[in-house]
Structure 1
Amino acid sequence: MIDMIIEQRRRSLGGGFEVGRVLPFAKRRMVGPFIFFDHMGPLDLAPGIDRSVDVRAHPHIGLSTVTYLFSGEIMHRDSLGYELPVRPHEVNWMTAGSGITHSERFEHARAHGDHLHGIQAWVALPDGMEEIDPSFSHHSGADLPQWEEAGVTGQLIAGSAYGLTAGAATHSPLFYAHLDMAPGSTAEIPGGYTERALYIATGAVEMDGMRHESGRMLVLGAGASRVKALEHAKVMVLGGEPVGERHLYWNFVSSSKDRLAQAAADWKAGRMKLPDADDKEFTPLPDEPKPPAPAMS
């Protein structure tokens, strides 16, 4: 039932802000179309925190980002002109397509202090849609269907599962849900998808007769499966149909290494529009590793 276990690896984003990096993993780059999965926090942010903690304006191509918080608040600004916070149990779904830039700032924490905890995932766009026009949508309430059953409170974040469909416009078959599980409760992991996984954000669960603690992703086989909470647990379930091989460099995703090199060159040369409020503060292209060289013609 469990094909692979992936432990989060701690990564610094600068300014004392660390995340748990889960995907990509050396032996498992993707689960369905999910190519990136970061566990943010839990982290207490004191009033007056330095702006170095903010994620300054940076670019994306070839993917959709989805931000989901258990607690805290992040202010989103992008090059399409959208500016609004994401709060717990809401979703910012941003499709980069041919190119978008955005920043993520902790302005609420700077003013009031905050307890930040959440997940950021990237979903690779399928063949033929990698260069679609960029777009942004914010979802809350009825857009994110909820249900309760035998000690489990669920919220569908994106895609279709549990007989429900979430509001964000997705571009390939997928599902993504948050299960809040009381001790002793059990939950089904949605079937009908080629690739599936669950991630334990808090608490501990049992699957295949083994105990699994927070910070661990279980990549599952195709068979029917259930998970049992051994203590109160927040569990993310996700998966979908593969979209084919994707290359990843920095914040760029593409089926073409040439396209990654072009995106890196565009950003370095200042050819990608910044959010209006971030036009003087942005994240430079990293020096190492070098972006992939264009293929020889």
Structure 2
Amino acid sequence: MPEIVINARKAAIGPGMMVNRILPFRMRRMVGPFIFMDHAGPVSLDAANGPGMDVLPHPHIGLSTVSYLFKGKVTHRDSLGVKQIIEPGEVNWMTAGKGIAHSERFEDPAVLAGGQLEMIQTWVALPEKDEETDPSFFNYQKEQLPVFEDTGLWMRQIAGEAYGLKSNVPTHSPMFYLHVELKKGFRLEVPRGFEERGLYVAKGLLALGNQQFASGQLLVFTKNEEPTVQALDDCTIMLLGGEPLGERFIWWNFVSSRKERIEQAREDWKQGRIDLPPDDKETFIPLPEEKFRRKDPPPEALS
């Protein structure tokens, strides 16, 4: 049985834009190196409300952000000068390291109509030795990511290694991250060999023993468990986890092993010492004016 089951909470990231927030959770802040997870969509908005969904330029330190789309289209811009449109099946992997700012905009009105946007965003904490690395950004096309298919099963290895698949996406610590589609009746064993493992139900209904789990739930398992789940209908799941990195502080969009480093990042953003994207610097998300404490990010936080 799971060590804990986390039910997604609703969080607003903009006018009319609600997401399911899974991590961090007060009783389980991380799963392996994964410290943040949002599931947005399916989203349906008319064109007039589209700009309200845009995530304005905002900063990060001490983590990698990972964007993965089921459907839709998002334009990423960052302070390195990168502009990248991400489409379904691709991976945007941005390592903030010592500091980066980026935006995510929904610039195609057709995508917002009829529920044509759905995405998962995660943050992966960096090991202490890599927290101050230079920032970087990579986009990986879906053809670059390994896929396995069998009767009733389809999976894409986003990062790390599991089930004999290995992604070429460079990571800083042992981990795995997969998008899996299960047909009704298929049984799947959760990957072994990692200290912490999570299974997020993005769509459908799963059985584990005599329990059932539905969309919006994250099941967390320890290393000693050997769970096998069965799809009670067609399911979309995300499998993630890896080796724990130790305690991390998280405030707004900042992650660090040191509280004082987050205080410094607060001041850097407030004083304009973190560059904005060169072609998206007219507006930005201001620093929340609240005292630092270790907590869930406020609604504006999104990778």
Give the TM-score range, shorter chain. over 0.9
Question: 1:231 corresponds to which residue?
Answer: 233
Question: 2:298 corresponds to which residue?
Answer: none
3-state SS of paired residue (1:45): coil
Larger displacement relative to structure 2 (104-113 or 212-221):
104-113
How far is the alpha carbon of 1:168 from its aligned partner? Answer: 1.3
d(CA) in 1 for partners of 2:263 and 2:152?
Answer: 49
d(CA) in 1 for partners of 2:285 and 2:197?
Answer: 33
Question: 1:162 corresponds to which residue?
Answer: 163
Q: Which amino acid aligns with 2:125?
A: A
3-state SS of paired residue (2:273): coil
How far is the alpha carbon of 1:292 from its aligned partner? Answer: 5.0
Question: 1:99 corresponds to which residue?
Answer: 99
d(CA) in 2 for partners of 1:272 and 1:110?
Answer: 33
Q: Which amino acid aligns with 2:265?
A: A
User: Which whole-Å deviations, capped at 9, do the CAs of 1:113-169 have from their partners, x for residues lacking one?
Assistant: 461111100000012110000000001234211111230100111111111111211
Cα gap change, 1:236/1:50 in structure 2, threshold over 3 Å: closer, same or farther? closer
How far is the alpha carbon of 1:220 from its aligned partner? Answer: 1.0
How far is the alpha carbon of 1:50 from its aligned partner? Answer: 4.1
d(CA) in 1 for partners of 2:110 and 2:251?
Answer: 31
The CA RMSD measured in Å over matched residues stands at 1.5
Q: Which amino acid aligns with 2:186?
A: S
3-state SS of paired residue (1:98): coil
d(CA) in 2 for partners of 1:76 and 1:268?
Answer: 23
d(CA) in 2 for partners of 1:110 and 1:185?
Answer: 35
Question: 2:301 corresponds to which residue?
Answer: none
Question: 2:148 corresponds to which residue?
Answer: 147
Query: Can you give the 5+ residue segments of structure 1 that lack an aligned partner in the other structure?
Result: none
Within a 5 Å distance, the mapping from 1:1-297 to structure 2 comes to: 1-109=1-109, 113=113, 115-222=116-223, 223-288=225-290, 290-291=291-292
d(CA) in 2 for partners of 1:94 and 1:270?
Answer: 21
Query: Can you give the 5+ residue segments of structure 2 that lack an aligned partner in the other structure?
Result: 295-303
d(CA) in 2 for partners of 1:234 and 1:248?
Answer: 29
Runs of 4+ in 1 over 6 A off after TM superposition: none
Alignment length, in residue pairs? Answer: 292
Note if contact 2:198-2:241 (Cα within 8 Å) is conserved in structure 1: yes
3-state SS of paired residue (1:132): coil
3-state SS of paired residue (1:2): coil
User: Which whole-Å deviations, capped at 9, do the CAs of 1:54-83 have from their partners, x for residues lacking one?
Assistant: 000000000000001111111000011110
Cα gap change, 1:112/1:61 in structure 2, threshold over 3 Å: closer, same or farther? closer
How far is the alpha carbon of 1:221 from its aligned partner? Answer: 2.4
| TM-score, reference length from structure 2 | 0.93
d(CA) in 1 for partners of 2:274 and 2:293?
Answer: 19
d(CA) in 2 for partners of 1:190 and 1:45?
Answer: 37
3-state SS of paired residue (1:13): strand
3-state SS of paired residue (2:245): coil
Q: Percent identity?
A: 49
Note if contact 1:152-1:186 (Cα within 8 Å) is conserved in structure 2: no
How far is the alpha carbon of 1:112 from its aligned partner? Answer: 7.1
Cα gap change, 1:14/1:163 in structure 2, threshold over 3 Å: closer, same or farther? same
